[in-house]
Amino acid sequence: MTISREQNYIGVFDGKVGFGSRPALIVIDFTLAYTTPGAALFAEGVVRAVQDTIPLLAAARAAGVPVIHTRVEYHPSGADGGWFVRKVPTLRKMVAGEKLAQIDPHVAPLPEEVVLVKQYPSPFFGTPLAPMLAALKVDTLILAGCSTSGCVRAGALDGVQHGYRVIVPRECVGDRHDGPHDANLFDINAKYGDVVSRDEVITYLARLPANAA
């Protein structure tokens, strides 16, 4: 008898990490490269995720929790991208001055919000994210961004490996195709964190005590 994917994981990969008391929102690579029609990386799923992240951003800011953004940028030679840019050559276009490398204005950072520039999928790799979060005494990472199967998954994996509760609001992440998107949300929820609704996250943020940040 064939059992479903969900049934196969019951009792093995169905734990919950829950919310902590000191969250940070990490907005991963919501750049114009993914939201500009005709661009090589354009993805309708990311366009939807950007729009759905606007209320989440507002809730995080209202709660006074740290908001950290990331985007990708390379030296014109591509040397700092190593084998990653060789595997995905279109990334070589993400250089200083390239409009597509900039964050979509719908989710633009506020002046006081840090923007980390990275060269690889994980927001932790080669960036000061880990010491920033430690200094802020963060215990929970809320991950929004793209792509679900790439940088968001890498952030979830590194997040749990750095000792954080990982929360992914499903409406606030996007990918090029529903197949990889759905499969990676399932896998993140099974092994690395909790995939929940955006409204659940917004409710959690609204209930934080004033000194949570």
Domain presence at residue 5? no
pLDDT of 103 above 80: yes
Phi-psi region of 117 (alpha: psi -120 to 50; beta: other; left: phi over 0): beta
> Which residue range(s) make up the domain with 103?
19-206
Domain presence at residue 9? no
Measured CA to CA, the distance from residue 164 to residue 169 in angstroms comes to 16
Which of 43, 19, 107, 41 lies closest to 70 in space, CA to CA?
A: 107
Which of 130, 120, 127 lies closest to 94 in space, CA to CA?
A: 120
Answer yes or no: 146 catalytic: no
Cβ count within 10 A of residue 23: 25
Catalytic residue among 25, 151, 173, 185: 151
Domain presence at residue 56? yes
Domain presence at residue 169? yes
Domain presence at residue 212? no
Measured CA to CA, the distance from residue 100 to residue 57 in angstroms comes to 21
Give 37-73 pLDDT, tens digit per residue.
999 999 999 999 999 999 999 999 999 999 999 999 9
- Which CATH number fits the domain that encloses residue 199? 3.40.50.850
Domain presence at residue 183? yes
Give the SS3 label for residue 59: helix
Give 161-195 pLDDT, tens digit per residue.
999 999 999 999 999 999 999 999 999 999 999 99
Counting the structural domains of the chain, the total is: 1
Domain presence at residue 125? yes
Domain presence at residue 192? yes
Give 76-93 pLDDT, tens digit per residue.
999 999 999 999 999 999
- Strands of the chain, DSSP E: 23-28, 67-72, 114-118, 140-146, 165-169, 173-174, 194-196
What's the pTM?
0.94
DSSP state of 109: P
